A and B are shown apart, each in its own frame.
Chain A
Amino acid sequence: MGSLGLAWLLNQDNLLADPTKPELERRTFDLAPRPPVHKPQATAMISMFMQGGPSQVDLFDPKPELRRRHLQDYIGDIHYDAVGQASTKLFSGPWKFSKRGECGMELSDLLPQLGQIADDICLIRSMHTGISGHEPSIRAMNTGRFVQGRPSLGSWMVYALGSENQDLPAFMVLRDPTGTPVLSVENWQNAWLPSIFQGTVVRPQEPRIANLEAPASLRGATQQRLLSYLQGINRNHLERHPGEHDLAARMQSYDMAARMQVAAKEALDISQETAWTHKFYGIDDSVTRDYGTRCLIARRLIERGVRFVQIFSGNQHWDHHSGIVKSLPDVCRKTDKPAAALVMDLKRRGLLDTTLVHWGGEMGRLPVIQNEKNIGRDHNGRGFSMWLAGGGLKAGYVHGATDEVGHKAVEDVVNHYDYHATLLYLFGLDPQQVSFTRANGSSSLLDDQPGQVVAPILQRPPQLS
């Protein structure tokens, strides 16, 4: 760390500056790329956030014991969530698991395309948040804690690292056409981090970003002059409001917007991709069209240096309280091919080494039946699966295990804060150090939780010193 950095740090603690005259100006923030503290293994991330709670025992975590005890009563503690119709009857879904790839990873036949990339992914079967409501679980996975009002994962990433592309927002969110996810803007909020670090939503239909096209009367130099005049007014205004970082963020948003008129249009224009690529992502098929389009857009954004892209599934697509036998295959059909295509495409382009791909929800589902009339499964935050790929993770690797019926994570448990610590580590950051000072002290993504880097899943785990 340079002397400038050190001075700044000391200043943070009021060790250098005159305590009666803190610098108001220090609170200016930008998206310039910032070097991490050690060599990063990942430089960008695409998170496919599968809200609702994908059923791990039907997708990722085969349980012969569950099959054997199908429809028997489960004797043991079950942590039901709020939702009713709970029973103690074990249920083994009608789907088969097969060994996939050279690694022989067992995956459900519901995800045939994922099977194609089994050798590229790292499957965690021991995820754990300990809570089973959607909202707190989503907050845990996306903001680090169960409580409201904390910055999202993407905001932390771009706060810590800035962006490689100054013409596109550093943190972009691809929303589902069927609606906003549960918790809506909380999923990509900056909370008490400066506003410049919040996620920018890409609309689920065209126009993906509204108002990208300047009216005929305002193109080119005409608009440039307008904006330059506008920023002049804004600069004078900011001088009269020192330290008001939202005003500075809005000024930056105009600069960004001007560049986005060209850059975003280009980045979001998937017609530049070949017919083969469209087909590869399933854009030619009405079932996979939407998700395929968004996965392809995510790749195009990452390719252009966007730091963090999060693709949201619709409100509760994976929340199968009833009718799981029909609806789980439905949502798998929509997402399986595009998700696998994304990983293969990134790999083909040499981007997978530095791009961390995440596929997972806020929890999993119980091994027992909910609603015997129309079988479903209740929430389960005590043991669930998700997969990661690229960005320094081991490939073709399975980590952790749940108990014999897939209810609770029992082996190599990965808590949400362990997951976050691992992400930050892979990006070259020290999980304990990425923090932000507020009036009442500093706060971080881990926020005093005992997050541990999950070393066994890493190609190059941290060296003990």
Chain B
Amino acid sequence: MQSLPRLFLVGVLCLAASTGTYAEETRPLRFETDVRPILKAHCWQCHGEEKDVKGGFDARLARFLLKGGESGPAIVPGKHAESLLYKRVVSGEMPPGNKQISARETSTLARWIDSGAATVRPEPETLTARDTFTEEERRHWSFQPIHRPTLPHVEQPGRVRTPVDTFLLSRLESQGLSFGVEADKRKLIRRLYFNLTGLPPAPATVETFVAADFPDAHERLVDALLASPRYGERWGRHWLDVTGYADSDGYTGADVVRKWAYKYRDYVIRSFNSDKPWTEFLVEQLAGDELLTPPYQDLTPAEADRLIATGFLRMGPDGTGGANGDQNVARNQVIAETIKIISTSLLGLSVGCAQCHPHRYDPITHADYYRMRALLEPAYDWKEWRAPNARLVSQWPQDVRQRAAAVDKELQDISQQRSDELDALVRETLAQELAKLPTELQLRAKAARETPAERRSDEQQTLLEEYPFLRISRDTIQQFVPDQVSMITKKWDERTAAAKKKRPADDNVMCLNEVPGQVSPTMLFARGDFNQPRQEIGPGELSVLAPTGFTIPRNDPQLPTTGRRLTYARHLTSGQHPLVARVLVNRFWMHHFGHGLVATPADFGMRSEGPTHPALLDWIAADFMRGGWELKRFHRNIVTAAAYRQVSTRRGELEAIDPDNLLLGRMPVRRLEAETLRDSLLALAGRLSSKMYGDPVPVSPDVSGQGIILSVNRFNSAGQVVRGPTDLGEEVVRRTVYIQVRRSMPLGMLELFDLPAMTPNCERRPSSTVAPQALLMMNNPFVVRVTRAFAARVQRTAGADPVAQFQLAWRSAFGRPPSDREVRNGLKFLNEQANAVRAAPGRSKTGSPDPVLAALAHLCQALLSSNAFLYVD
């Protein structure tokens, strides 16, 4: 490949830079829009936010800058060189400690002062609570109500299939561009299959779809895929990323297994498959427990789901089950991680910064953070903490509870009877031993035994030492009559074991709930430090988002719980919240098109780049809500759109204007995700299990050091692996979403293909391209096994004809028939490879694989390692 120097001439760079900032420089500078953000980030901590402002100088209003502090006015409008603010900044004196104000920011300050130090609007005399945020912050696009915009005009209405197309097309047209042509049906079915189910279409399905000439074939295929249980397994996984789903606690090295987390995973998959409206889905996850009455017994399946749904709030790492480390740190960390999961998944804001001080960039106050924390506090009470196991709620139905109680009673009885028998034996043995003593001694010895230790005379003490049998008890009787004791022990051990076997297996839910009546106050922690509690903070919405008059009750008397999370959840799903629907649909969009309309799915704040298509984002958000928050309806709108159906080919005119494809003048080419790759390999091999739900398939370190594999290992007391993996049978070919997510043990092949580490959750997955992935496709035993199975399946289905075999393998992998040249190349490869295998030295007549099948397996491996398979275009 040709190599070119990649270094730029300085002139080229400068030209680009000056063009880029030209518009900015000509715009009039204003305090609120240009200067305030700089001062807020660099100065306010000392000059405004803390009670005692340094030097008597408050930098939060332009009026205050004019007034200045102890050293006099901070600015002289029109004269930046005479302005104290500018002089102190430029000299490096302020901010102290070489904190950086960039040259660009300094220049902005100077230009603003020179242009007269104007504000957008008159400023108040003093700052009140209302002035915590500026108009600019209040008016930030993502905090505005969602209105359904009218559809824009397009030049080519013929290219529009669904409303989303009008927004995209009109934008493209404004740049002199348009959509690419519609992709052929083979590409489309492959795209739809991978996107909606995470699996490849079978060759026969492709042909049926290609042959179907009715006008709504595409729509019908979409309906069929959305109705498939495979859909929930695919799209549920996306949500599990955001929630930080894991089958282990993380936080500590032990990374304790969460046996019951899988029920939440199953709930998510079920909810996606049943197209549960997201209003309900979110309310259940945030407050399902508040829809029920403790003690949560004898729940219907729907009720049980509400409890299971709160697993959403239990997904963060939780180190409070272990004895190591500072419990208070661990507890508060659980709460912080949960707030992070809620805010990044639903609000598209990182509120975490406000744990210690006002958010530096977004209008989130320190108290706001604790308002959110107060939503959780009745359930996550850091002073009355419940460790993970203490939070489990049993789901035994009444008859099982009774059975368990009966067994417990039986066990108690067994224990009692065992003691009684041993006591009888003690008495008997004592009597026998006493009888051996001289008669006159017998009475004294008996008295010595029966006298409590503290009242014994010296003589009695001597007796006890002389005749140890006098101290005989249940615990020591073994030494006197070992045979009889072991008979008794054996008998009762057997009965205990038999009774224990009758005890029903545990069936628990990992959930978040409140302890009725226990409502601890939430305190604001100075600098985020729980050792520095300040004032009490009540539950509430972030103040910049809170509608007038909106309150969350501290403790709703109508409910057995406080009702805090329930009120909050209903507020989020009311249809009036500016962020929730936008954040959700942006993420759905990202999973269809590779990137969101807002590039940062978990950051819709002041620093985010904002949507590429603001009206489109609002339209899909509004339409999502109007359509009952049903995701399948949303999918139909997207995947039947012309934008989704266009080809992925890059075109010169697009590249010139939009190389990052932000305008969607083509479909992106995307690599299969880790799960999709593994599942598809298994599916092509004909091995993929359709078993849904239940206990996760366990992962363990491989004894031979090949990393993490699907297995259950046995460990000795030192924690070393002592025996090989247990055969897991069909479990090993289940879909990847059912594989245990141990935070510390990512499955080797998934890790290489960018399985996210859940610390605590994953907002967006990277997609890497590195040589270890190629090595995996070349050499990994799993890949070799499944490609062999794929070859055997091809051979079985296609018969002995090599052309038919090649055709089928090719169609299965790529969804299209091979060209003549591709057939010729393939057959040539098969032939050469078979000959080579045949001629390989050391090859025995028996026991070695059939050379033809071996060659076919190599062909299959090449196909499945190729870009045509690994990418969806």
Cα of A7 to Cα of B582 in the assembled complex, Å: 46
Cα of A403 to Cα of B825 in the assembled complex, Å: 72
Give residues 228-272 of A contacting B (CB, 8 Å): 229-230, 232-234, 236-238, 240-244, 246-254, 256-258, 260-261
Residue contact A180 to B770, C-beta cutoff 8 Å: no
Residue contact A32 to B13, C-beta cutoff 8 Å: no
* Contact mask for chain A residues 206-235; partner B; CB cutoff 8 A; 1 contact, 0 none: 110111111101100111011101101110
Residue contact A206 to B655, C-beta cutoff 8 Å: no
Query: Given the known A-B contacts A83-B529, A160-B7, A413-B98, are A209 and B772 also in contact in the complex, defined by CB atoms under 8 Å?
Result: yes
> Which residues in B have their C-beta under 8 angstroms from that of A351?
none
B389 close to chain A: CB less than 8 A: no
What bracket does the count of chain B residues touching chain A fall in?
Answer: 35 or more
> Which residues in B have their C-beta under 8 angstroms from that of A348?
none
Give residues 602-624 of B contacting A (CB, 8 Å): 607
Residue contact A86 to B779, C-beta cutoff 8 Å: no
Q: Which of A20, A147, A442 contacts B16 (CB 8 A)?
A: A442
Residue in A4, A434, A444, A448 with the greatest tally of chain B CB atoms within 10 Å: A448
A198 close to chain B: CB less than 8 A: yes
Residue in A1, A37, A242, A244 with the greatest tally of chain B CB atoms within 10 Å: A244
A40 close to chain B: CB less than 8 A: no
Cα of A190 to Cα of B276 in the assembled complex, Å: 39
Residue contact B102 to A214, C-beta cutoff 8 Å: no
A96 close to chain B: CB less than 8 A: no
> Which residues in A have their C-beta under 8 angstroms from that of B825?
229, 232
Within the complex, the shortest CB–CB distance from B534 to chain A, in Å, comes to: 12
Query: Given the known A-B contacts A210-B752, A241-B873, A246-B669, are A19 and B656 also in contact in the complex, defined by CB atoms under 8 Å?
Result: yes
Give residues 739-757 of B contacting A (CB, 8 Å): 744, 748, 752, 754, 757
Residue contact A162 to B671, C-beta cutoff 8 Å: no
Q: Interface segment, A22-30, A46-54, A285-293?
A: A22-30
> Which residues in B have their C-beta under 8 angstroms from that of A109?
none
B122 close to chain A: CB less than 8 A: no
A201 close to chain B: CB less than 8 A: yes
> Which residues in B have their C-beta under 8 angstroms from that of A147?
607
Residue contact A83 to B867, C-beta cutoff 8 Å: no
Residue contact A210 to B706, C-beta cutoff 8 Å: yes
Cα of A229 to Cα of B826 in the assembled complex, Å: 8
Tell me the nearest residue of chain A to B819, going by C-beta.
A236
Q: Which of B20, B653, B662, B778 contacts A227 (CB 8 A)?
A: B778
> Which residues in A have their C-beta under 8 angstroms from that of B655?
22, 24, 243
Q: Which of A37, A178, A222, A413 contacts B7 (CB 8 A)?
A: A37
Q: Which of A162, A218, A251, A261 contacts B3 (CB 8 A)?
A: A162
Cα of A281 to Cα of B681 in the assembled complex, Å: 43
Within the complex, the shortest CB–CB distance from A328 to chain B, in Å, comes to: 17
B854 close to chain A: CB less than 8 A: yes
Q: Which of B3, B253, B326, B528 contacts A32 (CB 8 A)?
A: B3
Cα of A408 to Cα of B861 in the assembled complex, Å: 58
Give residues 749-807 of B contacting A (CB, 8 Å): 752, 754, 757, 759, 766-776, 778-781, 784
A84 close to chain B: CB less than 8 A: yes
Give residues 832-873 of B contacting A (CB, 8 Å): 832-833, 836-837, 840, 849, 854, 858-859, 861-863, 865-868, 870-871, 873
Cα of A254 to Cα of B356 in the assembled complex, Å: 48
Residue contact A448 to B97, C-beta cutoff 8 Å: no
B235 close to chain A: CB less than 8 A: no
Within the complex, the shortest CB–CB distance from B647 to chain A, in Å, comes to: 10
Tell me the nearest residue of chain A to B782, going by C-beta.
A211
Q: Which of A189, A205, A240 contacts B766 (CB 8 A)?
A: A189
Residue contact A439 to B660, C-beta cutoff 8 Å: yes
A284 close to chain B: CB less than 8 A: no
Within the complex, the shortest CB–CB distance from B253 to chain A, in Å, comes to: 7
Query: Given the known A-B contacts A82-B355, A207-B707, are A253 and B770 also in contact in the complex, defined by CB atoms under 8 Å?
Result: yes
A184 close to chain B: CB less than 8 A: yes
> Which residues in B have their C-beta under 8 angstroms from that of A257?
771-772, 774-775, 778
Tell me the nearest residue of chain A to B657, going by C-beta.
A439
Cα of A374 to Cα of B353 in the assembled complex, Å: 25
Residue contact B17 to A441, C-beta cutoff 8 Å: yes
Query: Given the known A-B contacts A207-B706, A233-B866, A241-B669, are A30 and B1 also in contact in the complex, defined by CB atoms under 8 Å?
Result: yes
Tell me the nearest residue of chain A to B765, going by C-beta.
A185
Residue contact B774 to A256, C-beta cutoff 8 Å: yes
Within the complex, the shortest CB–CB distance from A55 to chain B, in Å, comes to: 18
> Which residues in A have their C-beta under 8 angstroms from that of B357?
82
Give residues 675-695 of B contacting A (CB, 8 Å): none
> Which residues in A have their C-beta under 8 angstroms from that of B103?
450
Residue contact A241 to B866, C-beta cutoff 8 Å: no
Q: Which of B7, B525, B607, B707 contacts A210 (CB 8 A)?
A: B707
> Which residues in A have their C-beta under 8 angstroms from that of B778?
211, 214, 218, 223, 226-227, 254, 257-258
Residue contact A225 to B866, C-beta cutoff 8 Å: no
B99 close to chain A: CB less than 8 A: yes
> Which residues in A have their C-beta under 8 angstroms from that of B858?
218, 222, 225-226
Residue contact A439 to B771, C-beta cutoff 8 Å: no
> Which residues in B have their C-beta under 8 angstroms from that of A253?
769-771, 773-774
Query: Given the known A-B contacts A86-B529, A210-B706, A229-B825, are A201 and B863 also in contact in the complex, defined by CB atoms under 8 Å?
Result: no
Q: Which of B1, B102, B658, B779 contacts A211 (CB 8 A)?
A: B779
Residue contact A5 to B707, C-beta cutoff 8 Å: no
Residue contact A184 to B757, C-beta cutoff 8 Å: yes
A415 close to chain B: CB less than 8 A: yes
Give residues 622-681 of B contacting A (CB, 8 Å): 648-650, 652-653, 655-660, 662, 669, 671
Residue contact B866 to A234, C-beta cutoff 8 Å: yes
What bracket does the count of chain A residues touching chain B fall in?
Answer: 35 or more
> Which residues in A have their C-beta under 8 angstroms from that of B784?
215, 217-218
Residue in B3, B20, B653, B705 with the greatest tally of chain A CB atoms within 10 Å: B3
Residue contact A85 to B866, C-beta cutoff 8 Å: no
Residue in B9, B104, B832, B863 with the greatest tally of chain A CB atoms within 10 Å: B9
> Which residues in A have their C-beta under 8 angstroms from that of B13?
432-433, 435, 442, 444
Tell me the nearest residue of chain B to A25, going by C-beta.
B2
B10 close to chain A: CB less than 8 A: yes
Residue contact A210 to B6, C-beta cutoff 8 Å: no
Give residues 130-172 of A contacting B (CB, 8 Å): 130, 147-148, 159-160, 162, 169
A21 close to chain B: CB less than 8 A: yes
B56 close to chain A: CB less than 8 A: no
Residue contact A433 to B8, C-beta cutoff 8 Å: yes
Residue contact B775 to A322, C-beta cutoff 8 Å: no
Residue contact B759 to A9, C-beta cutoff 8 Å: no
Residue contact B772 to A200, C-beta cutoff 8 Å: yes
Residue in B531, B771, B833 with the greatest tally of chain A CB atoms within 10 Å: B771
Residue in A34, A222, A430 with the greatest tally of chain B CB atoms within 10 Å: A222
Within the complex, the shortest CB–CB distance from A451 to chain B, in Å, comes to: 11
Tell me the nearest residue of chain A to B353, going by C-beta.
A82
Cα of A409 to Cα of B859 in the assembled complex, Å: 62
> Which residues in B have their C-beta under 8 angstroms from that of A80?
527
Task: Beyond A227-B862, A433-B13, list 20 extra A-B contacts (CB 8 Å).
Answer: A5-B5, A5-B7, A19-B656, A30-B1, A30-B3, A34-B6, A35-B5, A84-B532, A200-B772, A210-B775, A215-B784, A217-B849, A241-B649, A251-B867, A257-B778, A260-B771, A413-B98, A439-B657, A440-B20, A441-B17
For the complex of A and B, the 10 pairs showing the least CB-CB separation, nearest first, are A84-B529, A257-B774, A408-B97, A195-B769, A82-B356, A230-B862, A211-B779, A211-B775, A5-B5, A32-B3
Q: List 11 A-B contacts (CB under 8 A).
A: A2-B5, A5-B4, A20-B656, A24-B655, A130-B98, A130-B99, A178-B253, A218-B779, A222-B837, A237-B868, A243-B650
A residues apposed to B, CB below 8 Å: 1-2, 4-5, 8-9, 12-14, 19-22, 24, 28, 30, 32, 34-35, 37, 77, 79-86, 128, 130, 147-148, 159-160, 162, 169, 178-180, 184-185, 189, 192, 195-196, 198-201, 203, 205-207, 209-215, 217-218, 221-223, 225-227, 229-230, 232-234, 236-238, 240-244, 246-254, 256-258, 260-261, 322, 374, 382-383, 407-410, 413, 415, 429-430, 432-436, 438-442, 444, 448-450
